[in-house]
């Protein structure tokens, strides 16, 4: 592990730490039984760049540590996410693509978007570095390159394929230390009037709704339109539209192109930037106040869990995600509070939560608990509907954000 010496977006040294979450294991390092207790932990500090207003993790962990064996499959996260990507695919086709248009997706995971795009009759190519996830995508009949996307790979792609009409990248801009290399690859591969569309978790939702659980080493950046606009300008690209979406706890979809491309800039862009300025996302003080709110939320959660245990209640976890691992390790909540965890992804069955060593089980026909701590709270609607039997038998979900509350 190393620490950044310069801002990842603008190369400035003018940044300052506002939040320290303590020493934590890697959030995606779901442990095999023989590896319990052997995991590495690293500091987790978050800083604000006073020059470009970007927010980012200070620590840098080698990317192969995260992505060569990746335990997250997009397609198992719920019906709302599947529908999101189907609608997304239709919009891309209808709005930007000619017949037989060519789409390249950076960090395509198991093909949750690439599959619907292919089904619409488009030529598609995926890129992803996680060998186990690429295998799943290829089993679906998708053409996927097992590698990291950047300038060098874009040159190799152009030897076999034409320039892309659309390049897509979802939940990838938050995961990369060298964003310059990705943008250089995009510039090289995208045709002159092409569109680069990408989705990222929105900094505004993180701040407004106190979503500190989205912070972990794998997520190096937390994006605002204000900071992204400045970044893209460095590559002679513009943001011509943006959508604020509710998916994954709050996401923005950025539509960008070359400055001279034939895409008019929507009023949505300046409207969201004005909102960010009004809320102080360009000021360090805003983020210092956020850090104080995080500590207060932690105290409230621990008091609530302590009260339930004193009443003799059995609590389990549900949705053993990276977000959940941040919560559990920040709170220092282990098997003394949570008996076990349930997760829908077969990639995690039989493994353990890093740091807190809570065992992970597959979904069950009958859940033997009084309360479920819903760690995957961003999919609360889908999960509560799926586990209706638990609710009908008197069970309650404890949802941690934006403030701790019970459902239904």
CB within 8 Å of 182: residues ≥ 6 apart: 106, 149, 150, 169, 172, 173, 176
Count other Cβ atoms within 10 Å, centred on residue 342: 23
Q: What pLDDT does residue 67 have?
A: 47
State CA 102 to chain mean position distance: 25
Count other Cβ atoms within 10 Å, centred on residue 32: 10
- Determine the Cα angle at 95 with ends 148 and 225, to 5°: 60
Query: Do residues 112 and 172 make contact, with C-beta atoms less than 8 angstroms apart?
Result: no
Peptide bond into 408 cis (omega under 30): yes
DSSP letter at 11 equals: -
Q: What pLDDT does residue 68 have?
A: 46
Q: For residues 128 and 137, what is the distance between their CA atoms, to the nearest angstrom?
A: 10
Query: Do residues 103 and 125 make contact, with C-beta atoms less than 8 angstroms apart?
Result: yes
Token match 């540590």: residue? Answer: 65
Q: What pLDDT does residue 313 have?
A: 98
DSSP letter at 265 equals: P
CB within 8 Å of 285: residues ≥ 6 apart: none
Q: In the beta sheet, which residues pair with residue 190? A: 164
Residuewise pLDDT in 10s, the chain (408 residues): 889 999 999 999 999 999 999 999 999 889 999 999 999 999 999 999 999 999 999 998 876 665 445 555 555 555 778 899 999 999 999 999 988 899 999 999 889 999 999 999 999 999 998 888 899 999 999 999 999 999 999 999 999 999 999 999 998 888 888 899 999 999 999 999 999 999 999 999 999 999 999 999 989 999 999 999 999 999 999 999 999 998 767 899 999 999 999 999 999 999 999 999 999 999 999 999 999 999 999 999 999 999 999 999 999 999 999 999 999 999 999 999 999 999 988 889 999 999 999 999 998 878 999 999 999 998 899 899 999 999 999 999 999 999 999 999
Q: What pLDDT does residue 210 have?
A: 96
Q: For residues 65 and 130, what is the distance between their CA atoms, to the nearest angstrom?
A: 11
Model confidence pTM above 0.85? yes
Q: In the beta sheet, which residues pair with residue 359? A: 352
Q: For residues 31 and 69, what is the distance between their CA atoms, to the nearest angstrom?
A: 12
Q: What pLDDT does residue 66 have?
A: 52
CB within 8 Å of 174: residues ≥ 6 apart: 200, 201, 219, 220, 221, 222, 223
């Amino acid at each position: 592990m190393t620490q950044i010496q310069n801002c990842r977006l603008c190369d400035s040294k003018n940044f300052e730490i506002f939040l320290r979450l303590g020493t934590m294991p890697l959030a995606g390092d779901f442990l095999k039984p023989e590896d319990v207790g052997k995991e590495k932990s690293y500091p987790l500090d978050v800083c604000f760049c006073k020059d470009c207003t970007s927010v980012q993790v200070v620590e840098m962990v080698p990317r192969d540590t995260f992505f060569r064996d990746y335990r997250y499959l997009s397609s198992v996260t719920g019906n709302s996410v599947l529908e999101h990507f189907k609608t997304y695919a239709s919009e891309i086709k209808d709005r930007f693509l000619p017949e037989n248009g060519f789409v390249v997706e950076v960090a395509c995971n198991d093909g949750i978007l690439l599959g619907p795009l292919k089904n619409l009759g488009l030529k598609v190519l995926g890129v992803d570095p996680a060998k186990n996830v690429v295998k799943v995508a290829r089993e679906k009949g998708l053409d996927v390159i097992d590698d990291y996307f950047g300038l060098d790979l874009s040159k190799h792609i152009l030897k076999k394929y034409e320039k892309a009409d659309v390049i897509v990248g979802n939940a990838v801009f938050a995961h990369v230390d060298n964003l310059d290399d990705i943008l250089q690859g995009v510039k090289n591969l995208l045709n002159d009037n092409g569109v680069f569309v990408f989705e990222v978790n929105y900094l505004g939702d993180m701040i407004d709704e106190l979503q500190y659980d989205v912070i972990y080493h794998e997520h190096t950046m937390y994006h605002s339109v204000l900071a992204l606009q400045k970044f893209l300008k460095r590559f002679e690209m513009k943001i011509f539209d943006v959508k604020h979406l509710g998916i994954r706890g709050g996401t923005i979809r950025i539509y960008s192109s070359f400055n001279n491309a034939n895409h008019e800039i929507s009023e949505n862009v300046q409207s969201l930037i004005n909102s960010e300025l009004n809320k102080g996302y360009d000021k360090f003080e805003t983020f210092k106040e956020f850090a104080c709110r995080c500590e207060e939320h932690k105290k409230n959660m621990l008091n609530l869990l302590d009260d339930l245990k004193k009443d003799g209640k059995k609590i389990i976890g549900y949705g053993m995600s990276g977000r959940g691992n941040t919560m559990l390790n920040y709170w220092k909540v282990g098997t003394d509070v949570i008996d076990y965890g349930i997760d829908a992804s077969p990639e995690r069955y039989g493994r353990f939560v890093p740091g807190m060593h809570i065992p992970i089980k597959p979904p069950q026909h009958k859940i033997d608990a009084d309360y479920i701590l819903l760690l995957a709270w961003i999919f609360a609607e889908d999960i509560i509907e799926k586990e209706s039997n638990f609710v009908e038998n008197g069970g309650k979900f404890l949802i941690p954000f934006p403030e701790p509350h019970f459902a239904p």
